[in-house]
Amino acid sequence: MPHFTIFSLAMYFIYEKNLRFTLNKIGIPGNIKNSLKYAIIAFLATIAILILVNIIFSSQSAQTDAQRVSVLINKLPLYLLIFAIVFAPISEELFFRALLISVISKRFGSMIGIVAPAILFGLVHFTYGSKLEILVTFLIGLLFGYIYKKSNSILPTIIAHAIYNALAIGLIKSIA
67-115 residue pLDDT tens: 777 777 888 888 888 988 999 999 999 999 999 999 999 999 999 999 9
Mean pLDDT of 113-120: 96
pLDDT of residue 107: 95
Q: Which residue has the higher pLDDT, 37 or 171?
A: 37
Instruction: Write the CB contacts of 132 (distance below 8 Å, at least 6 apart in sequence).
Output: 53, 57, 62, 65, 66
- On whether residue 9 sits in a domain, the answer given is no
- On whether residue 28 sits in a domain, the answer given is no
- On whether residue 41 sits in a domain, the answer given is yes
Count: domains in the chain: 1
Closest CA to 135 of 66, 81, 82: 66
Identify the domain containing residue 51 by its residue range: 34-175
- On whether residue 128 sits in a domain, the answer given is yes
